[in-house]
């Protein structure tokens, strides 16, 4: 038996949420059984737990789109008992039981070896957010934006722009301000970002916090040669995932993680999910599922 955060459908949008004792026989089919040590609480997980959006696609559901741990059993030769692994995406926590549990069973194709130099807790402090950010960096570089104008190593902002200057309708072509950008917002914000990119610059788009629409024109693309590169973290090819995680292990300063991470127990996940949606959580939330 093992503990899991289980969501059960109700007559109202909010599901029933409970820490439940489950048996391995109840786990969905898969090639690899993993002992989870750490997961993380993402915005999508918070939506699933609170029922604020229709994230869950089958019921009951164990949420958690990320996890890290060690292999217990494997019918796939790529993984052996004791191997340290991690997972992001693939519909886990939405249509397949996810990482807010002490055990999971998944397809071997969905897993990645935990990169050398990263602990399970550190990998979950990075989580889908950091992994997606690295995919965006790779997209910028793949489309011709060299590292120099990105100031990647500085990891610090020199200016703070009020979001109200970007999230309302703007001119199709604006003053050239940025060599490149990563956008997780969509809608008018993405349109204004594209309108302010310098000649030959690149925008990596990975989210839709403001909306799925894109009220722009072709002006930035045909008059300034701007590239809009889409970034998907959920179904990204295995090789690209592996490259992203290897780069995170090499290039992300480890000292940044502790001061931007809150660690909670599995029993605290539902309460923190509500805080996250209310804008009361800063940084990353790691879930120690064994605590």
Give yes or no for residue 49 having a pLDDT over 50.
yes
Q: Are 79 and 38 in contact (CB under 8 A)?
A: no
The model's pLDDT over 235-287, given as tens digits with 9 standing for 90+, comes to: 999 999 999 999 999 999 888 899 899 999 999 999 999 999 999 998 999 99
What distance, in Å, lies between the first and last C-alpha atoms of the chain?
16
Token representation of residue 184: 């997780």
Q: Do residue 30 and residue 74 come from a single domain?
A: yes
Q: State the Cα–Cα distance between residues 137 and 221, nearest whole angstrom.
A: 20
Q: For CA atoms 123, 60, 45, 135, give the dihedral sign.
A: positive
> Mutual orientation of helices 120-142 and 238-251 as an angle, nearest 10°?
110
pLDDT of residue 157: 62
Q: Do residue 89 and residue 202 come from a single domain?
A: no
The model's pLDDT over 161-188, given as tens digits with 9 standing for 90+, comes to: 888 889 899 999 999 999 999 999 999 9
Residue 116 lies in a domain: yes
Residue 31 lies in a domain: yes
Q: State the Cα–Cα distance between residues 269 and 274, nearest whole angstrom.
A: 9
Q: Are 65 and 47 in contact (CB under 8 A)?
A: no
Q: Do residue 35 and residue 140 come from a single domain?
A: no
Q: Do residue 114 and residue 181 come from a single domain?
A: no
Give yes or no for residue 69 having a pLDDT over 50.
yes
Percent of the chain predicted with pLDDT > 90: 87
Residue 9 lies in a domain: yes
Residue 248 lies in a domain: no
**Domains: count for the chain:** 2
Q: Do residue 220 and residue 111 come from a single domain?
A: no
Q: Do residue 51 and residue 23 come from a single domain?
A: yes
Token representation of residue 178: 């940025």
Binned at pLDDT 50, 70 and 90, residue 160 comes out as confident
Residue 173 lies in a domain: yes
Give yes or no for residue 19 having a pLDDT over 70.
yes
Q: State the Cα–Cα distance between residues 36 and 102, nearest whole angstrom.
A: 5
Other CB atoms within 10 Å distance of the CB of residue 52: 15
Q: Do residue 113 and residue 180 come from a single domain?
A: no
Hey, what's the torsion of the CAs at 162, 165, 168, 170, to 10 degrees? -160
Largest alpha-carbon pair distance within the chain?
Answer: 61
What's the mean per-residue pLDDT of the chain? 93
Residue 7 lies in domain: 2-127+254-288
Q: What is the mean pLDDT of residues 51-73?
A: 96
pLDDT of residue 253: 87
Q: What is the mean pLDDT of residues 1-28?
A: 95
Q: Do residue 12 and residue 87 come from a single domain?
A: yes
Q: State the Cα–Cα distance between residues 87 and 161, nearest whole angstrom.
A: 34
Choose among 76, 67, 9: nearest CA to 42. Answer: 67
Which residues pair with residue 264 across a beta bridge?
Answer: 287
Q: Do residue 35 and residue 53 come from a single domain?
A: yes
The model's pLDDT over 79-113, given as tens digits with 9 standing for 90+, comes to: 999 999 999 999 999 999 999 999 999 999 999 99
pLDDT of residue 146: 75
- What is the CATH classification number for the domain harbouring 41? 3.90.180.10
- What is the CATH classification number for the domain harbouring 186? 3.40.50.720
Residue 243 lies in a domain: no
Which residues pair with residue 40 across a beta bridge?
Answer: 286
Choose among 130, 139, 140, 143: nearest CA to 251. Answer: 130
Token representation of residue 130: 């950091």
Q: Do residue 7 and residue 123 come from a single domain?
A: yes
Q: Do residue 123 and residue 263 come from a single domain?
A: yes
Q: Are 36 and 99 in contact (CB under 8 A)?
A: yes
Q: State the Cα–Cα distance between residues 104 and 71, nearest whole angstrom.
A: 10
Residue 143 lies in a domain: yes
Place of tokens 């072509």: 173
Q: State the Cα–Cα distance between residues 272 and 262, nearest whole angstrom.
A: 10
The model's pLDDT over 111-122, given as tens digits with 9 standing for 90+, comes to: 999 999 999 999
Q: Do residue 180 and residue 274 come from a single domain?
A: no
CA distances for 13 relative to 8, 24, 62, 182, 237, angstroms: 11, 28, 16, 33, 33
Q: State the Cα–Cα distance between residues 71 and 36, nearest whole angstrom.
A: 9
| C-alpha 138 chain-centroid distance | 15
Q: Are 118 and 84 in contact (CB under 8 A)?
A: no
Q: Is cis: bond before 280, omega within 30 of 0?
A: no
Residue 163 lies in a domain: yes
pLDDT of residue 151: 44
């Amino acid at each position: 038996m093992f503990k899991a955060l289980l969501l059960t459908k109700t007559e109202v949008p909010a599901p029933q949420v409970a820490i439940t004792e489950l048996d391995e026989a109840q786990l969905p089919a898969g090639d690899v059984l993993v002992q989870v040590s750490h997961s993380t609480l993402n915005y999508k997980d918070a939506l699933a737990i609170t029922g604020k959006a229709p994230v869950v696609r089958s019921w009951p559901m164990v949420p958690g789109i990320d996890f890290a741990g060690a292999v217990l059993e494997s019918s796939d030769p790529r993984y052996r008992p004791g191997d340290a692994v991690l997972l992001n995406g693939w519909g886990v926590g939405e249509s397949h039981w996810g990482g807010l549990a002490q055990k999971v069973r998944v397809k071997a194709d969905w897993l990645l070896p935990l990169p050398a130099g990263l602990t399970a807790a550190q990998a979950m402090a990075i989580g889908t957010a950091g992994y997606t950010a690295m995919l965006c960096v790779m997209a910028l570089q793949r489309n011709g934006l060299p590292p120099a104008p990105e100031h990647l190593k500085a990891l610090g902002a020199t200016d703070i722009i009020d979001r109200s200057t970007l999230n309302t309708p703007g001119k199709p072509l604006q003053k050239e301000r940025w060599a490149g950008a990563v956008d997780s917002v969509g809608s008018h914000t993405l349109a204004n970002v594209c309108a302010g990119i310098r000649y030959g610059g690149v925008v990596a788009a990975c989210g839709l916090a403001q909306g799925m629409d894109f009220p722009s024109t072709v002006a930035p693309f045909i008059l300034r040669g701007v590239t809009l590169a889409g970034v998907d973290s959920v179904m990204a090819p295995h090789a690209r995932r592996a490259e992203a995680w290897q780069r995170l292990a090499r290039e992300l300063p480890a000292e940044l993680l502790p001061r931007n991470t809150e660690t909670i127990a599995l029993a605290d996940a539902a309460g923190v999910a509500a805080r996250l949606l209310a804008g009361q959580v800063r940084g990353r939330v790691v879930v120690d599922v064994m605590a």
